Amino acid sequence: MHERPRVPRPLAHSALIALCLCTQACAQSTPAQAVADGRSPLPYVADGPPIPPLPALRDALAAIEQGREPPAPLPLGQPLSGWFEFAALRRDLEALSSEQGQAFLDRYRDQVVAQTFREAWLGVLAKREDWPSFRAAWSPAIKSTALRCAELNARQALGETDARWVSDAQAIWRGAGKALPSDCDAPMAVLAAEGGLQPALRWERIEKAAAEWQPAVMRAAARGLPADDFALANDYAAFFESPHDRALNWPRTPRSRLIASHALARLAKSQPLSAETVMPKFAQALGMNDEERGRALYQAALWTVASYEPESARRLNAVPDVAYDERLHEWRAREAMARSDWSAALAAIRKMGPTQRADSRWRYFEGRLLEMAGQRDAAAALFREAAKKPEFHGFLAADRIGAPYALCPIEPKPDYAAKTDIARDPAMVRAMLLYKMGREGWAVREWDEALSRFDATRRRLAVEVAQDNGWFDRGVFGLVNVGGQRYPDESRLYTLRFPLHHDGTIRREASKHNIDPSWVAAEIRAESVFNPNARSHADARGLMQVLPSTGAGLARRLGLPWNGGGDLYDPDLNIALGTAYLREMEDKYGQTYIAIAAYNAGPAPVARWRSQRPDMPADFWIETISYKETRDYVARILAFSVIYDWRLNRSAMPVTERLAGRIVDTRKPFVCPAPDPKAEPASDSAPD
């Protein structure tokens, strides 16, 4: 098969701002002309030196990391000077003098690269026990527990073991139920010697370790307790490793009950029958209440129902109401669905809390179950509520009542001048350059620093700049949930959150294999967010996350050139292979939703799920997939397909037709507000 022609995409205008050399061609456009042309003006970086071309930057960085001189000298003060110097220094940090390290920190004190260097440099200084230099290089922004303990060592060595030192050391002791790094051994020993680890603090850590199922940490924390307490704490830890009848004579205290209940919960996760057998005698002897008994019963039920084992219903019913959380409520409903016990499934949904029950997923399934029971009016009312949400189950609900799909997009008015300011922000310039050079980890650090200074409007513009530069996943990681804050209105920025790229290739390959192009785009959005260099821990690569072994077989069957797994980073080839694989899955399984599940989980689990529930309706089959990742993945792909259909065509093929793998001419319109004229506007939450 002949090689496909490559058509280069033009650089977006904010990409030019970040990346363009100060060449004659760039200099021909003035700011006023650029704004008049609808572009971001000034393809320069502030007033600094010209930026070398990307190939020159890549070659220079590669040379530096290999200990060679760059092929060509780089301008002094170019935006990535700090990162290039960092790359040179980290080759042999051990040989760096304290003065050289501090000079680097001083030189780049206002840049992210200084903090990146600092984290590595402090480790070197701690190893040297150069405590004055360590203190000079220290930053309170450091989060590493190991380095925080090293900082305690530094203060102690410098004679600063004061009340604040004790308080800081106690905070680290209290902060975790898992083992502390070895760097913390010395300061914790000093803290103990200074009388800062009173029995109450030791018991506090023992209880936290019990909640984390960490018997070794319990034993370590017990050292220093009075003899009787030490013996009891060690007996508590031994119970985690193997429940013993000595526990029947433990003190009937909240602590004993907490320890025993967590230990039995740990046992129940792997050996539910053993936990069920021994728990009654310990519960009676220690006087456990429902919440304490429920810890073990919860684990026994959860890890049984996750595989739909025969004991699932009995174990779910044994869990006290007080021990139920949203996760177990969902599993109780799914377990009943998996047995086609529709009345039990309806009862399970109605036992959920009001917030959980109001979610579009459970509104929809409550409606489906009522519909199956002949209560069509009640079902329709629930479908109308669910259909307000631009999510998979909202779209399904709209199809049940013949309503349009709800979608309320926000399309902000372009602001080229403001966007230009964002593109010229020094951290943004560095982030875009680093991303283009394939240094995404460093780029993300620069990006995060920039976003920490931006308000919501500037953050949105930063996402636009990033996507102009081909960094499409910033539409996911730069909006809605950012820095521990939630901005629900941003879920309606669909154009940014659902980018389109390589659409010509997507349409061509989809047409070739008789697949809806919206499905292909949805797969790319879910798998890589249009990052052609994405690579998973399982070695899936490229836009559609194709495994090299799968890619080799597909290329052979399609007659496409194949030179190894590296070819999967070519967007055109990756889309060609990924789309062909979707076609193969569709042909093999007959229904799109099963093909999507197989694309995510592989053939073996799908074969098992089909054999367990061969005749189950599609919506219930998806909901009863036992793997959370795959269950959510199928729903997400189908919802994303609707969104991308809207992006491509401003209407959508019904999701119920997608479930069956049919490509039909029937189109669904989108409306805002939601279909019900009495309803609220469409939900701000969008599929992700």
Q: What is the DSSP string of 502-546?
A: SHHHHHHHHHHTT--HHHHHHHHHHHTTT-TT-B-TT--BTTTTB
Q: Which of the four pLDDT bands, split at 50, 70 and 90, describes residue 456?
A: very high
Range of the domain at 320: 198-346
| End-to-end Cα, the chain, rounded Å | 37
Distance CA 151, CA 130 (A): 11
Q: What angle (nearest 5°) sits at the alpha carbon of residue 596, between those of residues 594 and 597? A: 65
C-alpha–C-alpha distance, residues 163 and 195, integer Å = 12
481: β partners? 486
Element (H, E) at 610: helix 603-612
Nearest residue to 346 (alpha-carbon basis) of 367, 326, 361, 318: 367
CA distances from 518 to 511, 651, 658 (A): 11, 11, 10
8 A C-beta contact, residue 510 and residue 520: yes
Backbone angles phi, psi at 507, to 5 degrees: -65, -40
Q: Is residue 490 part of a domain?
A: no
In a domain, 382, yes or no: no
Is 490 strand, coil or helix?
A: helix
Is 668 strand, coil or helix? Answer: strand
Distance CA 389, CA 361 (A): 10
The closest of 167, 175, 152, 164 to 221, measured between CA atoms, is 175
Distance CA 490, CA 288 (A): 47
Residue 347's pLDDT band (boundaries 50, 70, 90)?
Answer: very high
Q: Which two tokens stand for residue 242?
A: 């193997």
Q: What is the mean pLDDT of residues 240-264?
A: 98
Q: Give the residue-averaged pLDDT of 501-524.
A: 97
Specify burial of residue 11 (Cβ count, 10 A radius: 0-12, 13-18, 19+): middle
- How many alpha carbons lie under 13 Å from residue 628 in its C-beta half-sphere? 8
- In whole angstroms, give the CA distance from residue 282 to residue 257: 9
CA distance 384 to 677: 10
Distance CA 233, CA 223 (A): 9
For position 173, what pLDDT does the model report?
98
Residue 658 in domain: yes
Q: Quick one: what percent of the chain has pLDDT higher than 90? A: 87
* Whole-prediction pTM: 0.89
| Distance, CA of 259 to CA of 263 (rounded, Å) | 6
Q: Which of 284, 313, 346 is the last residue of a domain?
A: 346
- Please report which residue ranges of 242-359 form alpha helices under DSSP H: 254-270, 272-286, 290-305, 312-318, 326-338, 342-350, 354-357
CATH number assigned to the domain comprising residue 214: 1.25.20.10
β-partners of residue 406 are 671
Whether a cis peptide bond, with omega within 30° of 0, leads into 254 is no
**Measured between alpha carbons, how far is 102 from 275 in angstroms, rounded to an integer?**
57
Helix%, strand%, coil% for the chain, nearest 5: 65, 0, 35
Catalytic site residue from 449, 527, 586, 623? 527
Position 313 confidence tier, pLDDT thresholds 50, 70, 90: very high
In a domain, 398, yes or no: no
**Hey, which residues does 485 pair with through a beta bridge?**
482
Q: Are 79 and 45 in contact (CB under 8 A)?
A: yes
* Residue 48, pLDDT above cutoff 70: no
User: If you average pLDDT over every residue of the chain, what do you get?
Assistant: 91
Q: What pLDDT shows up at residue 677?
A: 42
Residues forming a β-bridge with 546 = 541
Cβ atoms of 334 and 627 closer than 8 Å: no
Last residue of a domain, one of 346, 370, 403: 346
Determine the longest span between alpha carbons in the chain, in angstroms: 88
| Domain annotation covers residue 98 | no
Q: 531-581 pLDDT, tens per residue?
A: 999 999 999 999 999 999 999 999 999 999 999 999 999 999 999 999 999
Q: What is the pLDDT of residues 122-148, one digit of tens each?
A: 999 999 999 999 999 999 999 999 999
- Ordered DSSP codes for 422-460: HHTSHHHHHHHHHHHTT-HHHHHHHHHHHHTT--HHHHH
- CA torsion sign for 652, 658, 664, 666 is negative
Dig out the tokens for 337 from the structure.
Answer: 């669905």
CB-based contact 612:339 (threshold 8 Å)? no
Tell me which residue of 22, 51, 16 sits closest to 37, measured CA to CA: 16
How high is the pLDDT of residue 661?
81
> Which residues are CB-neighbours of 418 under 8 A, at least 6 positions away?
457, 458, 461
**Token digits of residue 132:** 């004055």
Digit-coded pLDDT (tens) for 592-633: 999 999 999 999 999 999 999 999 999 999 999 999 999 999
Q: What is the DSSP string of 25-46?
A: HHHT--HHHHHHTTS----S-T
Assess if residue 566 is contained within a domain. Answer: yes
Strand partners, 482: 485
pLDDT of residue 21: 30
φ, ψ for residue 546, nearest 5 deg: -95, 135
- 207 carries an active-site annotation: no
Residue 619 lies in a domain: yes
Burial class (CB in 10 A: 0-12, 13-18, 19+), 643: buried
What phi, psi does 139 have (nearest 5°)? -135, 135
Q: Of 283, 315, 346, which marks where a domain is finished? A: 346
pLDDT of residue 50: 72
**Which range, of 9-18, 165-174, 521-530, averages the lowest pLDDT?**
9-18
Domain count of the chain? 2
pLDDT digits (tens, 9 = 90+) for 388-439: 999 999 999 999 999 999 999 999 999 999 999 999 999 999 999 999 999 9
Does residue 371 contact residue 399 with C-beta atoms inside 8 Å? no
Count of alpha carbons within 13 Å of 157, Cβ hemisphere only? 16
Note the pLDDT tens digit of each residue in 460-498. Answer: 999 999 999 999 999 999 999 999 999 999 999 999 999
User: Over pLDDT 70: what percentage of the chain?
Assistant: 91
Closest CA to 686 of 642, 627, 630: 642
Q: Is residue 530, in this structure, part of any structural domain at all? A: yes
CATH of the domain at 530: 1.10.530.10
